[in-house]
Amino acid sequence: MSPARDLDGRVVLVTGASRGIGLATARAVADAGGTPVLVARDEDRLRKAAAEVGPSAVALPADVSDSGSVTRLLDAVDTRLGRLDAVVNNAAVAWPHRVEDVTDAQLAAEVGTNLVGPLLVIRAALPLLRRSGGGTIVNVSTESVRDPFPFLALYAATKAGLEVLTEGLARELRGEPVRVCLLVAGRTGGGGFTAHWPADVRREAEAAWDAQGYRARTSGTVAQPPERVAEAVLLMITQPPGSVVDHVSVRAHTGSLLPP
């Protein structure tokens, strides 16, 4: 997969774009000649990320779990850019916790960001995608759906729901020029996904993972660079009309790509 794939000014909306996979995807879109629309809640961090990507980047702060915020986001895309060619639903949050201990705030945030958020974005984006002649929706999931980690069961459940939503949406849109794709990512470094985790709960969760062998399976002990996942996104959104790469799994191969 080459970063030289040509997007020729096409507009690509990327959620969770202030760091990690989202930021790497925005860079890849810009490098391929597209216009990346970076979306995240933290406005300061988002604008810094857009500045890193370059002059083609557009920063639009939004909370994907809030219907009104998503509506304003897509209205802004329409007003400022006049088109939308692809959506990458990448935003996700999680906390380590036992199912019985999840707080109302954590439950609302994880379900709202990881499952409701993509649905709201898709609902608001579809009219713009159709008006642009079609496009691609990429929903980013995790390989832990197939091997749920203890203390991260809710996170895996929300992503499992996203995968079902992706398949059902693809069937609904069959016959339309809007492609619906699922990207399953293995452990990926550089995103700060665990930065907000409380140290004591994290230690308890990691002890459970090690005791049950979760981090020794698949790519659990090796992190891939986010640029590797961004290359897969680019592959999906640059397919010619009439073709679709609708399911890709990207994870580190045996060996060390980044320190664990």
Catalytic residue among 149, 151, 155, 214: 155
Residue showing tokens 């073709």: 243
The Cα-based distances of 17 to 43, 53, 92, 145, 221 in angstroms read 11, 10, 11, 22, 25
DSSP letter, residue 178: E
Return d(Cα 152, Cα 97) in angstroms, integer. Answer: 7
Return d(Cα 176, Cα 172) in angstroms, integer. Answer: 9
Backbone angles phi, psi at 181, to 5 degrees: -130, 150
What count of residues does the chain have? 260
Q: Based on the residue annotation, tell me whether 155 is a catalytic residue of this protein.
A: yes
Residues taking part in catalysis: 155
